[in-house]
Chains A and B, each alone.
Chain A
Amino acid sequence: DAGVIQSPRHEVTEMGQEVTLRCKPISGHDYLFWYRQTMMRGLELLIYFNNNVPIDDSGMPEDRFSAKMPNASFSTLKIQPSEPRDSAVYFCASSLSYRGITMEQFFGPGTRLTVL
């Protein structure tokens, strides 16, 4: 298995532009998580899905952020419009649940977003 795949690896955009980050989880995993990492705030959970259904989006900073998981092998995180303070590394992670508890999380390589 190739692991969790994210694209693009780097994104530089201008303030006000729409940004779409993509993630392909490990096949067979039933949980998918989106995180944001910055020096100031550390690793923050934005939203997670179970079997393609959003379960908790309380970490999404504001309405400019949205996430979808149209099928078990693909998820997107969209920022519209983007702002300089959105600059961060965005990680996608997936995991398998066992007896109602998620196991270890496998992280993708991340997307480094820079908003100018």
Chain B
Amino acid sequence: GQQVMQIPQYQHVQEGEDFTTYCNSSTTLSNIQWYKQRPGGHPVFLIQLVKSGEVKKQKRLTFQFGEAKKNSSLHITATQTTDVGTYFCAAFSNSGYALNFGKGTSLLVTP
């Protein structure tokens, strides 16, 4: 399958600071999905990126898919305590049916 690596593993920010997590692959990805998991919760779908160079925004969250479709990023502007959680990127396996999840980036926001 298409494996993805995420960095950083952990990030601790002060409320109001920006945050970015990166997702990288050694192979070209067909598309990529992002999920958020709150502490003690389950992963929840955020977005899917399909096109090369695609940029999508959801309020303070900006998602980007690289031109070569080998990397992706999630940027949060002016973090809030509600942004706390682990953010996962996931790429489809070669079959196109199952997802390979990255290890995630755990975000801690202190007021």
Contact = CB atoms under 8 A, between A and B. Distances in A.
Interface of A: 31, 33, 42-43, 45, 48, 50, 55-56, 91, 93, 97, 100-110
Contacts of A103: 48
Q: Main SS of the interface on chain A?
A: strand
Nearest to B99: A105
A43 B43 contact: yes
B92 A101 contact: yes
B45 A45 contact: no
B43 A45 contact: no
B88 interface: yes
**Most central of B42, B95, B99, B100 by chain A CB within 10 Å:** B42
A56 B95 contact: yes
Contacts of B101: 42-43, 45
B88 A107 contact: no
B98 A42 contact: no
Contacts, number: 51
Nearest to B42: A107
Contacts of B103: 42
B21 interface: no
B42 A48 contact: no
Given A102-B96, A102-B99, 14 more contacts: A42-B101, A42-B103, A45-B98, A45-B99, A56-B98, A91-B43, A101-B92, A102-B92, A103-B48, A104-B33, A105-B43, A105-B45, A107-B43, A109-B42
Nearest to A112: B40
B68 interface: no
Interface in B9-37: 33
B90 to A, nearest CB: 8
A31 B97 contact: yes
Given A42-B101, A42-B103, A43-B101, A100 B96 contact: yes
